Copies of this chain bind each other. A is one copy, B any other.
Amino acid sequence: MNAEEFRKFAHEAVDAAVDYMENINDRPVRPAVEPNYLRDLLPQQPPAKPENFQTVIDDFNHVIMPGMTHWHSGKFCAYYPTGFSYPSLLGEIYTAMLATNGFNWLNGPAITELEYLTMEWMAKMLGLDAAYYSGDGRGIIQGSASEAVFMTIVAAKNRTIKALQAKDPSVDPWEAATKLIVYASDQTHSCTEKAAKIMGLRFRALPTDDTCVLKAETLRQAVDEDQAQGLVPFFVTATFGTTSTASIDDIPGIVDTARHFGIWSHIDAAYAGSALVCPEFRSLAGGINGADSFNVNLHKWLLVHFDCTCLYVKDKQALKDAIAITPSYQQYKELISGAVENLCDYQISLGRRFRALKVWFTIRSYGISGMQKFIRGHIDLITHFKSQVEADGRFEIMNKVQFNLICIRIKPEYCQIAAASPAADPTALANLTNSRLVDLINASGVFLIKSDLHGKVIIRVVIGSFKSDMLSTDFIWSVIKRCTDEVLAPTICTTTASTTNEAG
């Protein structure tokens, strides 16, 4: 493909992108394909000769697109959203035009320096203390919250072992590592446990209360117990907006307790952290400035394309000590003099895309006010949705609706009433009925997921897509309502009851 062919197909791609996004709500949100659908539609052998790109785009439209889930549709209410905005898309185009590898300052000074600037801007917009991005602190872009949490665990582990050795030089670092233990709650995103698993570290999931909140007292008890066993608690993740229910841990208490015991406290605000661009959410975020590190995914709820997790650490040297290796061929005078640092020293990968560009494009195009408007727009929609749920009367709201996630379930008594005969186990019946409801909703043009809340099946509805609006929100509610009518209709419930019996 030469430059002129590219120009033609790229102009078409731009128009295709606008057409796609502006009409995304008209598409079925999920594809109607079975596993391995693609295998029969594309050749098993790579082409020997170049193909005309028109053929490729035709296949893209007829083979790939029918196998896509449309994350930015207003009918997408699953998980948490992923980021999209037009300025961010422009950032991706310019990033791909430049196609640099910014692993150090030398290889594109603007890449490193714009990352510093945008991370400072973001910190200021979120209300983070300067200790997170200046002096000994540093804000940098990681690929995901999982990566951010992983990196901070690595840094905390290294720092803890060094501290143990400083107290007692006879401490064996390998031996010491076997005693370390990571904490998170039973509601924390799986990435903390995954990081501990990968690192071969002990992990303990601390129980949350009925509202899915991790209390400081629970942490304190665990530390006491584990220290009595000879273990060394060294890391805790506290969450600002948990995955299942968007709950907020007792961050001030956890941060204080962690500091008391010399434990690294990390705040995972992957999803809800974006709300902090609006001052009205700051009162929920007490304690976040007391932690050792903090992450928020701009690629979730703040208009920036994946991948873009902002990680802020107060002790940047702890990360570099644990991670950095600089071979001879990567030395250069500005590094040796200390005038610059290498961003690759904060991550596993050497290579880096120019990710700050899309952040800069997005912040400037939206401004603080535009980002606030985006967040508040979703809050208005969820408030509207919630009022419909409340008016219906058949649902319980299962979380404290503080952001744009609402968790609901059909009340157990409605499941009982609809059943042909009373069920022996009302919780099991409610779970089965709500699971059926989820399946039916997902077969009816909306995409959402269920979760498990202390043994109860809950239905998560997130209103946070780029193209969420009043129309799509009302559509979601109409689907849920209609599917609930169907699930609770006597004939269905007879089947439900019979399924229950079979399962029992």
Contact = CB atoms under 8 A, between A and B. Distances in A.
B200 A85 contact: no
A194 interface: yes
A348 B147 contact: yes
A363 interface: yes
Contacts of A243: 327, 329
Contact of A44 (B16, B120, B200, B306): B120
A387 interface: no
The list of the 4 closest CB pairs from A to B, nearest first, reads A67-B110, A174-B178, A6-B86, A144-B349
Interface in A41-74: 42, 44-51, 53, 55-56, 60, 63-69, 71-72
A129 interface: no
Contact of A367 (B50, B84, B154, B334): B50
Nearest to A66: B110
A87 B7 CA distance: 11
A222 interface: no
Interface stretch (A92-100, A285-293, A468-476, A493-501): A92-100
Given A4-B18, A10-B17, 8 more contacts: A1-B365, A16-B94, A38-B113, A49-B367, A67-B109, A84-B99, A154-B198, A157-B200
A340 B67 contact: no
A114 to B, nearest CB: 6
Interface residues of chain A: helix, strand, loop or mixed (majority) = helix
B53 A150 contact: no
23 contacts: A3-B86, A10-B14, A13-B14, A16-B94, A39-B113, A47-B364, A50-B366, A53-B90, A56-B361, A56-B365, A60-B94, A64-B114, A68-B98, A71-B98, A71-B101, A71-B107, A78-B107, A82-B351, A157-B200, A189-B350, A243-B327, A244-B329, A328-B452
Interface of A: 1-7, 9-11, 13-18, 20-22, 31, 33-39, 42, 44-51, 53, 55-56, 60, 63-69, 71-72, 78-79, 82-90, 92-101, 105-111, 113-114, 116-117, 120-122, 124-125, 143-147, 150, 154, 157, 172-175, 177-178, 189-191, 193-195, 197-200, 202, 243-244, 299, 305-307, 322-323, 325-330, 334, 339-340, 348-351, 353, 357, 360-361, 363-370, 449-452, 460
